[in-house]
Structure 1
Amino acid sequence: MLKKVSAILLFFLSACQLVQAQTSKRLINNWEFVKQDLGGVWEAVRPVKVGNPEELPFWQKVNLPHCFNATDAVDPDVNYYQGPGWYRTNIEVENPYEKGRTLLHFEGAGQKTAVYIYNIKVAEHVGGYDEWTADITDAVAKFKKTEVFKTQFKGKIPVVIRCDNSRDLEMIPSNLSDFNVYGGIYRYLNLVYTPQLSVDKLFAKASISDVGGYGKLAVTARLTNPDQVKSAQIKIYVTDPNGIGIADFTRDITMFKGDSLLWDWSLRAPKLWSPEVPQQYTVRFEIISNGQKSTITQKVGFRKFEFVKKGPFMLNGKRLLLRGTHRHEDHAGVGAAMTEEMITTEIKLMKEMGVNFIRLGHYQQSRIVLNLCDSLGILVWEEIPWCRGGLGGPTYQAQAKRMLTNMIEQHYNHPSIIIWGLGNENDWPGDFTEFDQEKIRTFMKELNQLSHQLDPSRSIAIRRCDFCRDIVDVYSPSIWAGWYRGYYTEYKDVSLEEFNKSDRFLHVEWGGDSHARRHSENPDNALSKVKKGGGADERAGDASLYGGAARVSKDGDWSESYIANLIDWHLKEQETMPWLSGTAYWPFKDFSTPIRPENPVPYVNQKGVIERDFTKKESFYIFQSYWTTTPMVHLYGHTWPIRWGEPGEEKMVKVYSNCDEAELFVNGKSFGIRKRDSQNFPAAGLRWQVPMNKGTYTFKVVAKKGKVVVTDEITQEYQIEKWDKPAKMTLQKIDEKDGIATIEVKVFDAKNVLCLDAINLVSFGLVGDGELIRDQGTSTGSAKVQLYNGRALIKMKTNNAKSVISVQSKGLPTVFLNQ
């Protein structure tokens, strides 16, 4: 008992020391920004004279993180901005350490960045996704000796930063990529003070040879020692997942060159990290020299994984089906500049959906993301942005290697990471006059060798580059059954065919687009036009909305109803594929892209299961019904207010649930109990045929799992009147709350019958003192959007003032609403 109390006290004291040693501060407030180039840094720092007409008038106040393209990435009327932008602020710098270093630590800024102290450039970086630091120590010391420091800047240090996301063929990622290459300081920027001798990186390798046996922890450090300090003392503390101190180590050192193995420790039967129980140990490293202490703390996890040759994925000695999705760094209203709160909400939503695996597409992502995956139990494939376009020259290749090295070194300790990705769709030419498969293979081999050299403990993978599949450990081919080619019912056969071509197969990227709030009574109609048995890969031109063979991506209705069937089929098949390592649905959230201007929401890839503002689509609940254990039930159609058909026609009512059984009530009358059977497609057998007539229907489902009861309820109208082509529109306010009004447009034929299959593109406008909430890249936040079942919504800030809202659509009279 005394030993346990002492351990707890040791941990408490260690935590107190860590707080006292904290020398990092996020620089969030008091920034100014201009979205264009300046004549030079002098224009950002020169003295301003009141009334001077030559002073640049366009600086705007912003907070970090900040993205150039927060809204223009999804503005339907412009191409998103690609070019330079400038940031400036004045900061107080008082390093508490004698002979210490003062750093600006960038967690990510796009895509080329230059840092100035006053008018002196102190650092440059190329690459929008890896972390890096600018040492401003000497420049700050020099500036503090100037008269302008005391007079113009009142004892503060002027920091000026130029970011540039201009197009550049000799830089990754390619602008042919299906995502925006954002600009700005779109991740957190930190002011960091370090002692004279400090820790640059800590590599803590946690490993086990056999489940239940001994675990090993090898601690290696890389130090920063610009003044060539000759001696120091290191201390290492380890606490278990319960916060109990279990080990400590002290050593005097005199060698500081390279990466030095400082401690190799073993423990019996460590607590294992897994998606179900993501147990982490804490390693705290201290280095003390000349009375100064530098501290770094890292989390590690003990786990053993294997992609079995010609077999499934194993974690800690047991088969685990990887149930995954993808993430882009992208959100409504902010672009790439997601706050920690936004990121946390997103990753927790993934976990709520049942995800145990995520591929981070297509670049190194924020440390916040990796920390969340560690703590929530989500396995990770992280990759560098060598995406499409082919292979550039020496500058291009050097950047790819540098970003690969940075990614592995910066995220080395995260137990969630099992795969380093080398690229995506590298078989896609276009950026260069030459497309040489052998040169691409040669460079892929170099990246593969570098990855294994930096980290032998993880697997290496690529997606969709068949002529390189033999180079890496794990390969993911292109399989889009039921979307770009083929039927979704061909998914298992096509997957098995691809599985047989590779030693280790993992299927990432499947699914299809769905326009949120659009539903269909006959969603699979487009399949009748599609050739069956012709493969399920994506080929050149398949993403286009025009030309080529019939395919659902071009000829389908883009309804949530179709994607519900496609996802449902894939998930039920995955339960019957014992050789499958896993899959990852593409993607979790809709995201902006420059190459899809004619989508129902312009410039948005709409394959997500949630919208860009975290609004869940129906498909979110289908995944939950297969992948989660906490009892849940969901009636399909929460955003489908009106169904249609013949009088008395039987309509399918679908319920998605992980419960054992469910009972449906229609207007209070029971329609019977159904037992869940994952192989009974669709909806795992939880479906009812309900005869419907004109009127209002309330559907309620009561589902049971053991003694737990969960319910869901929706109300829908049923329309029997048939409609002709659209002839007119109406515009009305349907809700207002806290100064936000919701405006709805509907389309009718000449006889005033609502056109429930209308997909017209409508454009909203406003004159007055209100403000449309537009350029969000969502079904209800876009100034131009295709109708969903003859209607569309947009919100506006009323600002307690008068406005006139308009809606236009080609071939229909424009209508107005006074608000």
Structure 2
Amino acid sequence: MRKNLVFVFLIALFATASAGVRTVYTINDRWKFCPGSPFDAQNIGADDSSWETVNIPHTWNNLDGDDEIPGYYRGPAWYRKSIFVDESRENQSAVIVFEGANQVVELYVNGLYVGKHIGGYTRFNFDISRFLNYGKKNVFAIKVDNGYDPNIPPLSADFTFYGGIYRDVYLMFVDKVHLATNDYASSGVYIRTPEVTEKKAVVEITSLVSNDTDSPVEIILENKICDATGKEVKSLRTNLKIASRTTETGIQKKIIIDNPLLWDIDNPHRYQVYTRVYDKKGDVLYDEVSNPLGLRWFEFDPERGFFLNGKPRKLVGNNRHQDYLAKGNALRDEMHVRDILLMKQMGSNFLRVSHYPQDPVIMEMCDKLGIVTSVEIPVVNAVTDTPEFLENSVNMVKEMIRQDFNRPSVMIWGYMNEILLRRPRTDEDFLKSYYPVVEKTARTLENTIRKEDTSRYTMMAYHNAPDFYERAHLTEIPMIMGWNLYQGWYEPDIDEFQRLLDRAHDKYKGKVLLVTEYGPGVDPRLHSYKPERFDFSQEYGIIYHRHYLREMMARPFIAGFTMWNLNDFYSESRIDAVPHVNNKGVTGLDRERKDTYLFYEASLGNKDVLRIGNREWKNRGGVVNTVENTCVQSVPVFSDYPVVELYVNGKSIGSKKCEENIAFFDVPFVNGENVVEAVARKNGKELRDMIRIDFKLIPDDLKNGDVPFTEMNVMLGSPRYFEDRTAEMIWIPEQPYKPGSWGYIGGEPYRRKTGFGSMLGSDIDIFGTDNNPIFQTQRTGLEAFKADVPDGEYSVYLYWAELDTDKKKESLVYNLGADTENGGYSKRTFGLEINGNPVMDKVDIAEDYGFGCAVIQKFIVNVNDGKGLTVGFKRIEGEPILNAIRIYKNY
């Protein structure tokens, strides 16, 4: 009996000692959701029975980028949920925590207005203690609005402004005496390291403690530092008296750690700081939080670059948007984790968190994996000259800094991106007044950051218009200049890139330089052996990234660079090869690794990398071009080994040196399945990689070749290959007709004129198809398409889209002058014949279907007497066109 009493006493003592420890849990599941402004949505008795049931993370714009409807819903929407709160919580403070909701949130609990938060990308919380009914269900009603507001940044940007509660939501219960929850949703604890060397680290800890009771309290504030194994390194206690209904600051200075384990890129050791609040006797634990502590010192030098713990390190990495295919920005934690693991696997050591603070899990992973980070607020493209805009921007800076203050990975705070890209007006009178407004905003944000955090660097990112930024004095303000450069993509001369770097180095003496954005669009379905800028091919992507990496690595004064982007992301205003998507990522929206990713994986110091490129191009095809009835096509292999040997269908085709971590092999593909295997050997170690490819061989001699003809799919006006992955089809480039074979007769490939020369095909969205590249090129002035196919019955599919328009097209500012010049549509009508038989007297694509619409017409044709197939075009008015042709043998 005595033992039982002792046991009960110990349980009670433990319960008393731990009664105040905070409880935090998500309330993500089964919310009622309704877009718009339903009547009385905030009231307890509102009827939400017909509303949609959703789980958080949630956005109402997740599918908008995949439809053909321009624009997306921006406006209010409501979430409702009933939540039971136990009576035991009545003597605690209750807080609801949002990790992110875009962009204005108004909270109601049990029909009562709680508060409002402005800003879509930082955490925020509300104390709801006095609004709850304990021992009962409580109705939470949340209004979220992502509508345009000139006083809330970002005003515009090259990404979709998703609406919704797109990150986790928590309920938190803490003792009435607790570490502050009212300081910009921070942890209430700030850790500084004013001195760090290999021999000694000095740590200072500031803690904010709140007393929500009606009486003053005396407490003991404890900070315990443990190493990565959990072993205690230092512990310090301070007595503190706190008046009722106030928050006090407790500072513990000069905690010294001898021979510290340093946080580094290769070995990111993290200590953990446990901050605890006890009663004045030290018997009862009121509250506890933990924060990471990374001991490191760093420096940016204008000539020599970046140094971490006294050692030079080139910062190489990515920008990252929080998008995923068909999910928008509403991602589970593990999807964020996966992205940072992808970065680390690729060899990145630097993340520019752009253009807004992201999920806390992202920052946690950067701490864990040794990835240096820059975080910025979303002041993009332009500012508004109002006190409200400036106040909102300053609040975003404070939230960003205080929420991630203790992150060892964070070394840069950013606050403006390409801020003069979308100047509201360009007339001189306006600019004379606008530039000072931008400068005032910049200096206010710069001063706010330096006051909040003296230990880190500040940065602004500019686009390639230095004169604009100099006139506004913006090049003088931040500690680091970031340059977003796209020579060889928007601008034609890729060699202008390195000239710009050298000019910036000479001109802005004493300034640290980073390349904060660079990259070409790449659609992994597109390939070309005549690559050119803006063709979106995998092959041009490699040319571009090889050039940029080579030039940046050769210049020590470039402290680091972040490619644009880790992943493709939705941008509603864009068209390109994939409508509404910016596909400059080295991975796709679904995180498919493009060849550009494989290139960096092999180039950035990773160990034992061997990857066959074009690995997702599993349905290939081409014309016989050897006497052995094979089709030779180039295949890249990426490796950090010096030499690679390639086997095709079990036979070696030789070895090649890897130059800049790539070896190109001419692979002879046969009809059907091809097994391609790469082998690399070094120092007794062997690496292997293998892919399987289904190849559709098209005979060069359609009648007499050893390979029987079954089908061909040809894109006119295009040197590219396109893989239709849904149908497992391959589209091949056009060729001129030659007897016995196939091809076009007459005409010219369509090329659009831009401010920087002509470019392949069109940049308009083609309605009615998911395969835009098939329709975005064409041959104009075509006389005929001829194929000397053997006798039989064929299905002939003709693909059309009118790429010109009679309407003026608004330029997309993000194309930096590479938009199509507005030119008038010239009416075109033509007749169509197949093997001399008129099949359509008058074809007028624009008149019959409109501009930019996919049109496919199928004809059943009998070919006999060895005459082959001829599709003839008879000019009536203007130039005949054809975008693509598919010829399929039925019998």
- TM exceeds 0.5? yes
Match of 2:220 among 229, 233, 241: 233
Match for residue 560 of structure 1 among 533, 538, 547? 538
Deviations 1:695-743 (A, max 9, x none): 865432101243332222333635464979669xxxxxx99xxxxx954
Question: Is 1:480 the counterpart of 2:486 in the alignment?
Answer: yes
**Given that residues 196 and 292 in structure 1 are in contact (C-alpha distance below 8 angstroms), is that contact kept between their aligned partners in structure 2?**
no
Indicate whether 1:280 and 2:270 are aligned. yes
**Aligned AA for 2:503?**
E
Letter of the 2:147 counterpart: S
- CA–CA distance in 1 between the matches of 2:615 and 2:774? 14
Moved more, 228-237 or 18-27: 18-27
Question: For each residue in 1:579-604, what CA deviation from the matched residue of structure 2 results, as whole angstroms up to 9, or x when unmatched?
Answer: 321110001011011221x2222111
- Cα separation, partners in 2 of 1:724 and 1:364, compared to 1, 3 Å: closer
Change (3 A) 1:31 1:427: same
Give matches, 1:663-674, under 5 Å: 663-674=645-656
- The residue that corresponds to 2:143 in the other structure is 162
Quick one: structure 1 residues 696 and 63, their matched pair in 2 at CA, closer, same or farther if it must change by over 3 Å? closer
- Counterpart secondary structure, 1:409: helix
Aligned with 2:523: secondary structure?
A: coil
Deviation (angstroms), 1:650: 6.3
| Preserved CA contact (<8 Å) 2:594 2:614 | no
Deviation at 1:214, TM superposition (A): 1.1
Alignment of 1:354-393 (within 5 A): 354-393=347-386
**Does 2:229 align with 1:219?**
no
Q: Does 1:327 align with 2:325?
A: no
- How does the TM-score come out when normalised to structure 1? 0.79
Within-5 A mapping of 1:44-443: 45-46=44-45, 58-94=50-86, 96=88, 99-141=91-133, 155-174=136-155, 176-200=156-180, 201-207=187-193, 209=195, 211-227=197-213, 229-255=216-242, 259-289=249-279, 291=284, 293-431=286-424, 435=431, 436-443=434-441
Instruction: Assess if the C-alpha contact under 8 Å between 1:476 and 1:507 holds in 2.
Output: yes
The amino acid across from 1:665 in the alignment is: Y
Q: Distance in 2 between matches of 1:241 and 1:404?
A: 31
Taking the aligned partners of 1:412 and 1:104, their CA distance within structure 2 comes to 21
Does the Cα contact within 8 Å between 1:326 and 1:587 map onto a contact in 2? yes
Q: Report the Cα offset of residue 186 of structure 1.
A: 0.5
Alignment of 1:5-24 (within 5 A): 21-24=21-24
State which of 591, 594, 602 in structure 2 corresponds to 1:625.
602
Q: What amino acid is aligned across from residue 129 of structure 1 in structure 2?
A: Y
TM-aligned CA deviation for residue 507 of structure 1: 0.6
1:645 Cα offset (Å) = 5.9
Tell me the distance in 2 between the aligned counterparts of 1:705 and 1:22: 55
Q: 1:814 to 1:746 in 2, by over 3 A?
A: farther
Q: 1:505 aligns with which of 495, 508, 513?
A: 513
Pairs within 5 Å for 1:384-783:
384-431=377-424, 435=431, 436-464=434-462, 466-467=469-470, 468-502=474-508, 503-524=511-532, 552=533, 556-596=534-574, 598-640=575-617, 641-644=619-622, 647-648=625-626, 651-678=633-660, 683-684=661-662, 686-689=663-666, 697-714=674-691, 715=693, 717=695, 719=698, 721=700, 743-744=727-728
CA offset digits 1:513-541 (Å, max 9, x no partner)? 011221111113xxxxxxxxxxxxxxxxx
Cα deviation, residue 61, structure 1: 0.8
Contact 1:388/1:424, CA 8 A, preserved across alignment: yes
| Larger displacement relative to structure 2 (290-299 or 189-198) | 290-299
Say whether the 8 Å CA contact 1:693–1:720 is kept in structure 2.
no
Alpha-carbon offset, residue 692 of structure 1 = 6.8
Deviation, 1:480, is 1.1
CA distance in 1, matches of 2:393, 2:37: 27
Hey, what's the Cα distance between the residues in 2 that align with 1:73 and 1:659?
Answer: 41
C-alpha separation in 2, matches of 1:499 and 1:788: 44
Amino acid at match of 1:261: I
Amino acid of the structure 2 residue aligned with 1:810: A
CA displacement 1:66-90 (0-9 Å, x = unmatched): 1121212432224211011100111
* Greater mean alpha carbon deviation, residues 389-398 or residues 124-133: 389-398
Q: Post-superposition shift, 1:18? A: 8.9
Query: Would you tell me which structure has more strand in proportion to its own residues?
Result: 2
Supply the distance in 2 between the matched residues of 1:289 and 1:720 (Cα, whole angstroms).
86
Kindly indicate whether structure 1 or structure 2 has the higher relative contact order, using CA contacts under 8 Å at least 6 residues apart: 1
Q: Which amino acid aligns with 1:812?
A: I
1:18–1:295 Cα contact (<8 Å) kept: no
| Cα distance in 1 for residues equivalent to 2:647 and 2:17 | 61
Q: Distance in 1 between matches of 2:337 and 2:269?
A: 19
TM-score normalised by L of structure 2: 0.73
- Give the aligned residue type for 2:36: Q
SS in 1 for 2:512: coil
Q: Per-residue deviation at 1:237? A: 1.0
Larger Cα-atom Rg: 2
> What root-mean-square deviation, in Å, do the aligned CA atoms of Structure 1 and Structure 2 show?
3.4
Identity %: 25
User: What CA distance in whole angstroms lies between the structure 2 residues aligned with 1:397 and 1:432?
Assistant: 20
Structure 1 segments unaligned to the other structure (5+ residues): 1-13, 49-55, 145-149, 525-551, 728-733, 736-740, 761-778, 792-806
C-alpha distance in 1 between matches for 2:531 and 2:686: 31
CA change 1:311–1:469 in 2 (3 A) is: farther
SS, match of residue 453 in structure 1: helix
- For residue 814 of structure 1, report the CA deviation from its aligned partner: 6.9
Query: Is this contact kept in 1: 2:383–2:419, CA < 8 A?
Result: yes
Q: Distance in 1 between matches of 2:742 and 2:60?
A: 44
The offset of 1:246, in angstroms, is 1.2
Distance 1:178 1:516, change over 3 A: same
Answer whether contact 1:29 1:64 (CA < 8 A) is retained.
yes
Deviation, 1:225, is: 2.4
Asked if 2 retains the 8 angstrom alpha-carbon contact of 1:695 and 1:719, the reply is no
Gaps (5+ residues) in structure 2? 1-13, 181-186, 464-468, 702-711, 717-722, 751-764, 778-798, 801-852, 860-891
Asked if structure 2 preserves the Cα contact closer than 8 Å seen for 1:518 and 1:789, the reply is no
Deviation at 1:195, TM superposition (A): 0.9
Look up the equivalent residue of 1:408 and give its one-letter code: I
1:32 corresponds to 2:32: yes
Three-state SS of the structure 1 residue aligned to 2:420 is: coil
Say which is worse superposed, 378-387 or 281-290, in terms of deviation: 281-290
Secondary structure of the 1:342 match is helix
Count residues with an aligned counterpart: 698
Q: Describe the shift of the 1:222–1:20 C-alpha distance in structure 2 as closer, same or farther (beyond 3 A).
A: closer
- Corresponding residue number in structure 1 for 2:856: 812
